[in-house]
Amino acid sequence: MIKRNKIGIFDSGVGGLTLVKHLFSYLPGYDLLYFGDTARVPYGSKSEKTITKFALEDTEFLLSQGARIVIIGCNTVSAVAYDVLQDNFSVPILDIIFPGVKEALRKTTNGKIGIIGTQATVNSKSHEYYLNRLEPSVKVFSNPCPLLAPLAENNNMSKYVVKSILKTYLQPLVKNNIDTLILGCTHYPYFISEIENLYPNLNLIDPAKQAAQDLKKLLQRDKNLDSQLSKNNHTEYFVSDTPKNFVEVYHRFIDRSLEHVKVVDLEKVLQPKRQELYHDNSIVKIEV
Catalytic residue numbers read 74, 185
User: Are 150 and 14 within 8 A, CB to CB?
Assistant: no
Q: What angle do CA 226, 23, 203 make, to 5 degrees?
A: 125
Residue 24 C-beta-side C-alpha neighbours within 13 Å = 14
| Calpha distance 3→81 (Å, rounded) | 26
Q: Please compute Rg for the chain using Cα positions.
A: 18
Please name the amino acid found at residue 174: V
Q: List phi, psi (to 5°) of 282.
A: -125, 155
Residue 216 vs residues 103, 178, 194, 221, 246: alpha-carbon distances, Å: 16, 30, 29, 9, 27
User: Are 179 and 112 within 8 A, CB to CB?
Assistant: yes
> Which among 17, 13, 19, 57 has a CA at the least distance from the CA of 38?
13
Residues β-bridged to residue 72: 10
Q: Is 27 helix (H, G, I), strand (E, B) or coil?
A: coil
CB atoms within 10 A of CB 86: 14
